Amino acid sequence: MNYFADAVAWLFDPTNYVGSNAIGNRVLEHLGFTLLTLVFASVIAIPLGFFIGHTGRGRGLAVGTAGAFRSIPTLGLLTLVALSVGIGLTAPYAALTVLAIPPILAGAYTGFEAIDRATIDAARAVGMSAGQIVRKVELPLSLPLLMGGLRSATLQIVATATLAAYVADIGLGRFLFTGLKNLDYAQMLGGSILVILLALLLEGIFTVLQKLVVPRGVAAGRPTDIWAGFTKLAR
């Protein structure tokens, strides 16, 4: 028995494209879930990261918390939240937001911290206000690293979002859990392939975005590995 051929056959079976469990629906659900989680995590992590990066305050706490967040097993958290709020979308959104916060937070504040202090000092000395320094200097110069954080977070969410189907009827994870229950490995593998394709697509989009937001004039020689700064600070 060739699982891979069966999976491909499953992917191209027209009956899998109709009804509430249609592949198209599940892909859109998965994508929507991923993007909304990204928004939740960004709303929390970006302002916090900018504040830490701009003021230099609370960095130790942020590094510690983000590190702790990274080590939380998502399935465990998902189960824990689901046990207290019940079956539904709240638990997966909460669990995956927690998963996505550390890379975005790290991207946001390392983006600010990677900026040459002398550049900011000079901007202040020529008469830029604090708000102007954030908007016209720190923000544009930090975008590449922030985008790196968003990219990393997106990949983690899109892959882990399959877990959402554990407690809710949503996303490509449905195929995995249904397939597992029915011993339908073609469906499981087909679902996995869809998740991988979606991840590759998003990765491609972010690669382009990340190139676009690097200001010309600083395109060369800037660090893009957000965790390099993170582990250095954590030490």
Contact residues for another protein, defined by CB under 8 A: 116, 118-119, 121-129, 132, 136-137, 140-141, 215-218, 220
Q: Mention every residue, 6+ apart, whose C-beta is less than 8 A from residue 60.
A: none
- Asked whether the beta carbons of 32 and 92 are under 8 A apart, the reply is no
CB of 140 to another protein, least distance (A): 5
CA-nearest of 133, 64, 72 to 97 is 72
- Smallest gap from Cβ 43 to another protein, in A, equals 26
Q: Which of 153, 200, 17, 103 is nearest to 161 (CA)?
A: 153
Find the shortest distance in angstroms from Cβ 107 to another protein. 18
At closest approach, how far in Å is the CB of 141 from another protein? Answer: 6
Q: Which residues contact 197 (CB under 8 A, 6 or more apart)?
A: none
**E strands, the chain, where?**
none
For residue 88, what are the contacts with CB-CB under 8 A and spacing of at least 6? 82, 167, 168
Measured torsion, CA atoms of residues 67, 69, 75, 77, in degrees rounded to the nearest 10: 150
Complex with another protein: residue 80 or 123, whichever CB lies closer: 123
**Given the complex with another protein, which of 1 and 220 has the nearer CB atom?**
220
**145 token code pair:** 């690293």
Which residue's CB is nearer to another protein, number 99 or number 214?
214
| Shortest Å, Cβ 223 to another protein | 14
- Our CB check for another protein shows the closer of 27 and 128 to be 128
For another protein, the closer of residues 139 and 193 by Cβ is 139
